[in-house]
Structures are given as structure tokens and as C-alpha cells.
Structure 1
């Protein structure tokens, strides 16, 4: 059995290969039970443990992760630890133990960009990114690989972190204009794509400000009582999800409008797998607003981890 490190994951992945690989995987048969998230106590602590199982015709896998948001980085502790275990589908033999944190960054960004490839207008040029966490550079690179973006606006609580992110990106993409956000309303009004990757519990922008043809991607929230976008955004958009069962358990972006009576499950157009199999279910015209809500899919972990394993075998 191979032990695959984060460095090996980084060495063997690229969005050029991963995004088409995931798109193809979602058109093929797979099984993905509802993921299990366990809150470790009943206090105000957000500490959690989760299991994400899935399998296809080639491999079986499960990702296990812990989330301890109060861990002290100064003590060398991370808030997230994760491992993915792979087994051979035909015999059940263990194949590999793969670093799950690095895989999660890659697959989350790849799924976000895949949804944009299927839903945003092909000529999209302006991306507004909410969030400067570890996932942010992956998201920028992934979205640049599928759309001709020439302007990226970073919205952050910390201007220092936004500037640091921009500086880390500028050398690799000299033809893209990067900037921090001075005015959220104006940035949203001109955005072709809005990507939300934050821990915010409240809507990040007013959905009334979305321009015709905008594509919104919300991936930071996994709580049924919190949300990154408001009810107006949801009701103005054609709505898509990565996994229906997981979103109906965890996505406040959809569950809160449903509780308000403004939205219902039947208003969800398609899951990502259905959209990959039948792209005609996607955007219907250039002025339509689209929304993709993701909470994470085990099959994307499985496919990404197995790809790295295959490259190393």
C-alpha cells in the first residue's frame, strides 16, 4: 500500500488534466452515499469529524477529516486534517493512503471551475473572489484555466491578506489585472463570475446587484443555518448543486429560502452529474443568472486521489 504525501499530490496534479477528468467521471456510473458529519460535542465548539464514502467501477474510497477551527497556528496546528483511503474495487485490497487536505483544495477548485465551464458565459472576463484562505489561489488558477478572465477582484476582511494573495498571483498571470475591493456593490454589478469561499454566516452581497448573465458559485458554507448568498440571489437564478442529498442537509443558501417559502427543492435544475451528462440543462441564454452551490462530493475526492495514485504506480 502506498502512502502518498501532500508534496506528491501537488507534483502530479494540474487543472488542465483534472477538470476534464472530473467532468468525465461525473458522466460515468458511481455510488456516493450521503456524507456523515459529526459534531463532537454539544457546546459552542465547532469541532467536527466527517466521513465521505464513494466508489466507482475502479476504486472504493473514503475521506476522513477533522475540523478544529480553534487550533492555534502558532503552535503548528492546522484547523483541518484529512486522509483518503483507496481500495481496489474488484478485490477490496487497500491501495493507498493519500493526503486528503491537498486533494480537497485541488478538487474543490476544479469542481468550481467545472461548474463555471458548464454554466458561466463563455466570454466571462471579470471574476470577483470572496475569501483569501488556503483555497483562494487554487480557485484563481482553476477559473483562469476555463474562462478568458482579464480582471480579478479579491474581497477580504483583511486587506493585508488580499494584497498578499494578489502578489502571489501576479507573476504567473501578468496579463490579468488583480485588485482589492473598495466597493462590494460596484464589484458585484460588474462581475461575470462571483466565487464565494468564506466562513461567513451571512450573505456577502445583495443579489439585486447581480448583472444579467452573472454566474455565482458558493462553496464556503456547510451549515444549514448559514449562507454566503441571500434569498434574492437564489430566486433570481437557475440553481444547480453538486449533490442534492448533501445540499438538502447542509446548504443554508438553499434551506433558508426554502424555510421562508421563497424556494423549493423542485426549483433546483440539476445536480452536477446530470449537468455533465446533459449540458443542455445548463445556461439557456446569455442574460440568465446561474447559481452553483457545492458542499463537497466524495466522488471528486475519489477520482482525484486515484489519479495521483495511478501517476505514481
Structure 2
């Protein structure tokens, strides 16, 4: 069985190829039971968690196990630790163990950009990124590979961290103008694509801030009682998700409006796999507000691991 390190993963991957691989993989048959997320401190405000994500396709079976300890951030340590075990579908033999945290960053950003391929306007040039964590550079690189973005606004609670990120990205992507904005409302009103990847427990993005034609991607929250946007944005947008079974079990962005009686799960337009296999339409007008809520899927872990393994052969 191959042991594949984070360094090998970074060398094997680029976003155009990974996004295309995910696009093809989501369009094909796969099975993905509801992932199991266990709160290690139930009944308290501590959000430490352990999760197990299984999936299988025509060629592979995979399971990702990860721990999430958000309190690690305050101690300057990684909050996410993960491994992905890949099996041969024909006879069940384990064939590879991949470092999961780095692969999670790659596949999360690739899924975000893949959804944008179907849901944002093709001529989108202005992107607002909410969040300055480890995922931020991945999200920028992924989105730049699917849309002609020439302007990126970065917002973060820590101004110096946001400024440092903007400076680093400017050195990497010379043709793009990077800036920092402290006023989310002002930045949102002038953006074609808004990507939120924060740990905020309460809304940082509001429906009356978002202009017609905008595509919104929410991927920072995995808690039923928390959310990155308000209910108004959910009710005025065409809502798509990576996985209904997981989003409706975990995401406060949809669960809270459902509890309030202003949104119904039947109003979800569809899943990413349906967009990729063309069984549903994506963006249907230039003026529509589209919204994609992602909590992460086991099939995207499987597909990303498959792509790494086959690239390294």
C-alpha cells in the first residue's frame, strides 16, 4: 500500500486538472452515505469533533477520518488533521493512504470553483473572499482557473493578516489586483463572486448587500446553530448544495431559515453532481443570485485521492 505525503500531493496537483477530474467524477455514478460527525464534547460550547466520511465509485472505495479542534487556532496549531484510505473497488484491497488535511484544502477549493463554473456568470471578474485562513490561497488559485477574475478583495477580522495575504497573492498572481476591505457591505455590493470561508458563528453576509447576478459560495460553517449569511440571502437566491443529506444535517445557513418557516428544503435547486451530469440547469439568468452551500463530501475526497494516485503512477 502506498503512503502519500502532503508534499507529494502538492507536487501532483494543479487546479485546472483537478477541477476537470472532479467535474467528470461527479457526473458518474457513485454512492455516498451520510457522513458521521461526532461532537466530542456534547452539551458544551466546545466544538471539537471526529468525523468519518465513506464513499465508493465504479473504481474505488474511500474513507476519510478527520479531527477538528478549533481551539488549536488559539495555540497556533492546525485545527484539522485527516487521513484518506483508498481501496480497490473490484476486490477491496487497500491501495493508498493519503495525508488528508492538505488534500482537503485542494478538494474544497476545487469544489468551490467547480460550482462557480456552473453557477457564476461566465464574465465574472470581481471576487470577494471572506476569510484569511489556510484555505484562502487555495480558493483564489482555484477560482482564477475557471473565471477571468482580475480583481480580488480580501476581508478578514485581522487587518494585518488580510494585508499580508493580499501582498503574498500579488506576488503569485501578477495580473490580478488584490486589495483589502474592512467593510463587507461595500465590498459585497461590487462583487460578481463572493466566497465565504470563515469560522464566524453569526452572519457576516446579508441578503440586502448582494447585487443581482452575484454568485455566493458558503463553505466555512458546519454547525446547525451557526451560519455565515442571514435568512434573506437564502430566500432570495437560487440555492444549490454539494450534498443534501449532509447539508440538511449540518448547515445552519439552511436549517435556521427552515426552522423560521421562511425556507423549505424542497426549494433547494439541486446538488453538485446533478449540475455535473447535466440533469439540472445551473444559472438560469444573468441577474439571478445563485448560492452554493458546501459542507464537504466523501466523494470529492475519493475523486481527489484517485487523481493524486493516478497522477503519481
1:66 matched to 2:67: yes
User: Equivalent residue for 2:192?
Assistant: 192
User: Equivalent residue for 1:288?
Assistant: 288
Equivalent position SS for 1:205: coil
Equivalent position SS for 2:269: strand
Equivalent position SS for 1:10: helix
Equivalent position SS for 2:188: helix
Q: CA deviation at 1:41?
A: 2.3
Q: Distance in 1 between matches of 2:279 and 2:120?
A: 12
Moved over 4 A (4+): none
| Contact 1:240/1:293 (<8 A) preserved | yes
Gaps of 5+ in 2: none
Q: CA deviation at 1:186?
A: 1.4
Equivalent position SS for 1:152: strand
| Contact 1:220/1:228 (<8 A) preserved | yes
Q: CA deviation at 1:172?
A: 1.9
Q: CA deviation at 1:36?
A: 0.3
User: Equivalent residue for 2:149?
Assistant: 149
Q: Distance in 1 between matches of 2:252 and 2:68?
A: 19
Q: CA deviation at 1:168?
A: 1.3
Q: CA deviation at 1:306?
A: 1.4
TM-score (norm 1): 0.97
Mean Cα deviation higher: 111-120 or 162-171? 162-171
Aligned pair count?
Answer: 312
Q: CA deviation at 1:213?
A: 0.3
Alignment of 1:248-287 (within 5 A): 248-278=248-278, 281-287=281-287
User: Equivalent residue for 1:207?
Assistant: 207
| Contact 1:240/1:272 (<8 A) preserved | yes
Q: CA deviation at 1:311?
A: 2.0
Equivalent position SS for 1:304: helix
TM-score (norm 2): 0.97
Q: CA deviation at 1:65?
A: 0.3
User: Equivalent residue for 2:121?
Assistant: 121
- Compared CA separation, residues 262 and 16, structure 1 to 2 (3 A): same
Equivalent position SS for 1:132: coil
| Contact 2:153/2:187 (<8 A) preserved | yes
| Contact 2:239/2:267 (<8 A) preserved | yes
User: Equivalent residue for 1:237?
Assistant: 237
- Compared CA separation, residues 11 and 30, structure 1 to 2 (3 A): same
Residue by residue, what CA displacement relative to the aligned partner does 1:48-100 show, whole Å, maximum 9, x if unpaired? Answer: 100000010111110000111223775x7421110000111001111011000
Equivalent position SS for 2:148: coil
User: Equivalent residue for 2:100?
Assistant: 100
Q: Distance in 1 between matches of 2:100 and 2:175?
A: 33
User: Equivalent residue for 2:38?
Assistant: 38
Gaps of 5+ in 1: none
Equivalent position SS for 1:234: helix
User: Equivalent residue for 1:47?
Assistant: 48
User: Equivalent residue for 1:29?
Assistant: 29
| Contact 1:118/1:279 (<8 A) preserved | no
